[in-house]
Structure 1
Amino acid sequence: MNITLKERAIDIAALALDIARSSEKNQTIGDFLQATGKISPDDAERILTVQKEQGLRFGDAAKTLGLINDQDIQRALANHFDFPLLFNGDGEFSPELITAYQPFHEQVEVLRTVCSQLMLTWFNESRKILTVVSPRRGEGRSNVAANLAVLFSQLGRKTLLIDADLRQPRQQQIFRLNQTQGLSDLLAGRRDEWVIAPILHFRDLSVLPAGTKPPNPLELISRDMSACLSHLAGQYDVILIDTPANELGADSQVLSAKAGGALYLARQNHTRLADLAKMKNLFESTGTVSVGSVVTDF
């Protein structure tokens, strides 16, 4: 798998069908709009009249009457299809989380293609863990890992995003987590699994932040990460691991060997292909499967 974020997605229909089939559809759009205070019961009667007279869908009829706007319709549809979605003002996540705030952005469509390919070629009952790696800093590992994690959770896969970059962690910033403890504290035996933070806006997504910055990140990961991952794999469908840049040390190589597979990132006009090839060969020499590659342009 080799995908560039400039390409258009071509396999969105299958993902949309998956979402639709998995939805509970236990609440009509009208019910949702009333429950959230957007319309009153009297408004609903007026909408039904216009809907019948003009042959409109309920949401379009409500919009025609000036009772709701496009965002209200999108929010109601997201609820109807059990598809977690955020809008400006919802939550306090970083704007980098475009899969949550801009679900129809071209870049998100391409990430959906990556997600689809990973479901087809990697993730199954015996393979649940994948690292996101790249040779150098500033190539988009944290961004891609976070957005892929949201996409998997939107598909109903119980997803855990682990920030294993104990040197320069970013997931706590992206998801605006207040806690100071995380993976390093868990590996050191100072904390239990309660350091895993559920993301309330996405019921199938949890984040394990990096935690207290340790003086010995590589040693900590080398010593205790295997048992930790083995335990967590029994609780999640998908585990994505954000890693340090390979230029900072052997952390990403060790993490990838323990995970079993790696997704490689390269940033256009930034990553040297020789560095990427050298890294790939090094990782494969320790048993890591090269699952695919993504070229970022942001």
Structure 2
Amino acid sequence: MVKGITTVVQVATIEVLDRAGSLFQALGFEQGKGWSLEGGKGAPFLAPLGNLELVAGRVPAEPSLLVEVTHLDQAYEIAQQWASAAGRKLTPVTSTGWNSRLFTVEVVEGTTLGFWESENPLHGVPAAIEGDLVVTGQKYAIVVARWNAVITDRLLQGSLDALLRSGAKREDIEIVRVPGAWEIPSAARTLAETKKFAGIITLGVLLRGETAHYEAIYNEVARGIGQSQQETGVPHAFGVLTCETLEQALDRAGLKVGNKGFEAGIAAIEMASIQSKLGGAK
């Protein structure tokens, strides 16, 4: 039923209205459709979000008109230039008792606005279910290809590092070695169907230069792993590298740009936690 909220402020002259409007435009307010009637004039300035806040048990914040911004220091610079030219009062940026920073500016006589920015990094972030990077008594399986072992062994060490750092016990980690990437989906599916494991980590590498049917194999490997995850309900972390050269694969296995095995291990832990919170397979 409620569509919006508007605060109407009367100013002395149209000149003052235009001067105040210049501040709002400089700060990024959207100019609404104004009106002019019988010598009078109105100019709405729109913000993306409006709130009506009721307070009991303590003194409300001053002033009562508050504008939340995303870059307070930048807004202060704009307001400072405007206030200097308009001859209006401006207070310095100060910390508040509600975990924010605030400054005020007198827009017109009798009307002061407060501009504020929260110092809470989670302020305004929608609440969401997220996974915890902690392993508590869960079992994990790692399916790793032997082909290009110089790469896959590095990936395996990365996954083990992720699991052990997160609290997994060595005896709760099952490692299954398969000949190559092609065989990974079959082994992953067999492990997932046992329902013993909170997550399956799949590790392998495909090099375009070494495999003429590179894309066909990759598509089937990716499809098989995804299908196993969907049909068994057990999270599968995808750690199969697809690279042009051996050098690129080495870089992705911890040499230069992170270890894909470690990333896959972390993803498996997080997804297992999310699934547990959502009431899925444990």
- TM-score, length-scaled by structure 2: 0.24
Q: Which has the higher contact order (CA 8 A, sep 6+)?
A: 1
Structure with bigger gyration radius:
2
Looking at secondary structure, tell me which structure has more helix per residue. Answer: 1
Looking at secondary structure, tell me which structure has more strand per residue. Answer: 2
